[in-house]
Structure 1
Amino acid sequence: MSNVTAKSDASSTQAPSGFVKAITLTDATMLVAGAMIGSGIFIVSAEMGRSVGSPGWLLVAWLLTGVMTLFGALSYGELAAMFPRAGGQYIFLRESMSPLVGFLYGWTLFAVIQTGTIAAVGVAFGKFLGVLAPGVSPDRYAWFPHVDVCTAWLGCTDPSSAIQFGLSAQRVVALLAIALLTWINLRGVREGKFVQTSLTIIKTGALFLLMGLGLTVGRNAQAIAANFGGGHFWGHVDITGAWVVAFGAAFVGSLFSSDAWNNVTFAAAEVKNPQRNLPLALMLGTGLVTALY
């Protein structure tokens, strides 16, 4: 009797496919929020402000992005609850359209989309780390030889802007960061979710800290008056075709900063009670990030 009970208890924590169901609602929410919060919010905000011309329209862009993201998250939540299997969009496309469409998307995701995104994030990590550690430089190369390529078809007209092929210190850091995170995920879902949740808490804490410092230490009466007083909140904006194009460009930046919320669907088979927790995690995660932004 005890053997039967032990076997049933073990099987209750595993999906039929063999995946361990170890991701709770909190873990899934942190996965959604952590995937969304990246370098985008720190890069695009200033350019968005210059494009729209006023704080009010800047907030409108973020609000519209949040609404669109929430609609998408709720739709994906329903799909993930219907197909609580590992694969995310691959499963949705395979089941709704055809195995060929799912296969093409899966290989595109594997060969281009995710690999390119991971490489870009790794390089960005090395670049920002170089601000704190000058030794992590794109111009300092390892013992491997490097080549500077400057041709017209690559858009290079000045040797000083040549494209550098080689293993710089910055790229070494990017490779090591990718290798470390890969190793953590290979160890298992419990280790992976712990690191993901920890990093998400650090990132959200950093954003709260920035807001707190801005409202206290960096409080500037002149800046507040310039942004919120005397009709400056909405600014003197003429809604012309050129302004609509500028607002659209700013909107692209806010969408870029709010991307990747769907990544939790790739781990749907490892989420406890996915019919309930996946839609909730998508809604809570996107809502949290929208409020922060």
Structure 2
Amino acid sequence: MAETQPAFKPSLSLVDATMVVAGSMIGSGIFIVSSDIMRYTGSAGWLILVWLITGFMTITAAVTYGELSGMFPKAGGQYVYLKEAFNPLAGFLYGWSFFAVIQTATIAAVAVAFSRFTAYLVPELGESNIILTLGSLKISAAQLLGIALIIFLTYTNTKGIKGGKIIQTTFTTVKLLSLFGLIILGFLLAKHSFWDENWQTGLKAMQLPRDEAGNFIKEGPWFSIGGTALIGAIAAAMVGSIFSSDSWNNVTFIAGEIKNPKKNIGLSLFLGTLIVTIIYVTANLMYLYVLPLKDIAYPEGNRVAVAASNALFGSNGSIVIAVMIMISTFGCNNGLILAGARVYYTMANDGLFFKKTGTLNKNAVPEFALWLQCIVASILCLSGSYGDLLDMISFVVVLFYALTIIGIAVLRKKRPDIERPYKAFGYPVLPAIYILLALTFCVFLIIMKPVYAGAGLGIVLVGIPLYYIAVSSKKKGA
């Protein structure tokens, strides 16, 4: 008798799935990127509007994905949706980009963020402590700690979905409660309110002048912007908010391990993105209450949450935020690592990725895919280039989100008879608005940051010859 191959075990409840959504979204971004948004837009109104626009786009995309997750409730998520809506090449280009930059660079960036804030408690683990120099490459204690975190979480996830589920649910619950606590305490304990002063700026968008390198001159006079300059500034500002709100779709990658996936994936997408959007908007309202605009734009070390916490708790504020970010990034990376490997597993079973990544170990998880992802993310940690890669991620991610949502209309025409337990909310109006906003964002990001947007597109296009190589190898092996 042939040996039965391990299969995914549906063991994640609706609560677990919602924790994967929320936990994968909240990393270090909400503690940092509001400074960049303020530098680009210069007013209280636009700070909040950027987060609201991002939240609207995120929730709209998430509830729209509910229709796709109900149609194709299996591992692979967005890779599967693009393949079914368009063709295998479209799915492969997403999967390749996911492996090369989207997921792996995010894992690297979140791991190093964990290290940076661990250094608040243990300075020896900071980026300034260079452990090894190899030519022009300098390896810091922070990078090594980041790699150690990736290896540890990868190892725990090779032991089965249960361990990953416990880590995800526990850490996400703690960070949600601590974030809500920080927001509430911000309004209650602030020694001085800057609320009225900050809101005098309203929706008057402003920027600082820039030097020849394109950097804002901190002490320069603010000047008003409007028209296309404002749209471009919003697009550039949204790079941070979109990165901070990304990875909500990770739950679709683990559909094979969710109970009643046709119902629970769509519901978890809505609940998770709604919870996180509420947290992000209220956190920024708290920043506006506790800090003047100039301290939001230029806090010490670009860490706006630390500045806010110091205003509330004095010198202990840095420690409070450091612990919160360590908890947040630990749980975030667990969700990213857990979910990402399922995409490579599905691609391999379609003959479009390394064959061994398409197997499950005795614990019913794709162990080889997990370790391969670990290696690439660790290399990106060492390279120190993850910051640049993250600028590329926003362009690539939003482009694929828009394409996937277009795929809903394609599938309604192409496969009208397939079961749809859940239909996209507000179709076709809300999806159309999302696509319009997404394409506007991408166009203006090309204008504002052509090098990074072009590099991101270049990474996607490299996947075209790789796809045909994979198809050729598949035919030879058949």
Query: What do you get for the CA RMSD once the two structures are aligned?
Result: 2.1
Number of equivalences: 258
Cα deviation for residue 219 of structure 1 reads 4.4
Contact 2:127 2:143 (C-alpha < 8 Å) held by counterparts = yes
2:66 partner amino acid: G
Mapping of residues 1-293 of structure 1, within 5 Å: 18-142=7-131, 145-149=132-136, 164-166=137-139, 168-221=140-193, 223-228=194-199, 231-235=200-204, 239-293=226-280
Using a 3 Å threshold, how does the CA distance of structure 1 residues 276 and 127 change in structure 2: closer, same or farther? same
Q: What is the rounded CA distance, in whole Å, between the counterparts of 1:139 and 1:57 in structure 2?
A: 35
Q: What is the rounded CA distance, in whole Å, between the counterparts of 1:274 and 1:197 in structure 2?
A: 18
Using a 3 Å threshold, how does the CA distance of structure 1 residues 84 and 211 change in structure 2: closer, same or farther? same
Deviates more, 1:67-76 or 1:90-99: 90-99
Q: Deviations over 1:219-245 (max 9, x none)?
A: 423x122124xx444447663433332
Structure 2 match to 1:7: none
Matched residue of 2:178: which SS? Answer: helix
Q: Deviations over 1:135-174 (max 9, x none)?
A: 10334344xx52352xxxxxxxxxxxxxx333x3212211
Q: Deviations over 1:182-209 (max 9, x none)?
A: 1121111111111011111122223212
Using a 3 Å threshold, how does the CA distance of structure 1 residues 219 and 205 change in structure 2: closer, same or farther? farther
Q: Deviations over 1:37-64 (max 9, x none)?
A: 1111111112212322222222111111
Q: What is the rounded CA distance, in whole Å, between the counterparts of 1:240 and 1:106 in structure 2?
A: 37
Structure 2 match to 1:161: none
Structure 1 residue runs without a partner (length 5+): 1-15, 150-163
Matched residue of 1:19: which SS? Answer: coil
Structure 2 match to 1:9: none
Cα deviation for residue 91 of structure 1 reads 1.2
Cα deviation for residue 216 of structure 1 reads 1.6
Q: What is the rounded CA distance, in whole Å, between the counterparts of 2:63 and 2:256 in structure 1?
A: 18
Cα deviation for residue 105 of structure 1 reads 3.0
Using a 3 Å threshold, how does the CA distance of structure 1 residues 181 and 243 change in structure 2: closer, same or farther? same
Q: Deviations over 1:104-152 (max 9, x none)?
A: 432332243322221222122112211221010334344xx52352xxx
Matched residue of 2:10: which SS? Answer: coil
Contact 2:19 2:168 (C-alpha < 8 Å) held by counterparts = yes
Structure 2 residue runs without a partner (length 5+): 206-223, 281-478
TM-score, length basis structure 2: 0.51
Percent of residue pairs bearing the same amino acid type: 47
Higher RCO (C-alpha under 8 Å, 6+ residues apart): 1
Deviates more, 1:272-281 or 1:201-210: 201-210
Q: What is the rounded CA distance, in whole Å, between the counterparts of 1:219 and 1:248 in structure 2?
A: 34
Deviates more, 1:249-258 or 1:278-287: 249-258
Q: Rg bigger for which structure? A: 1
Deviates more, 1:45-54 or 1:95-104: 95-104
Contact 2:258 2:264 (C-alpha < 8 Å) held by counterparts = yes
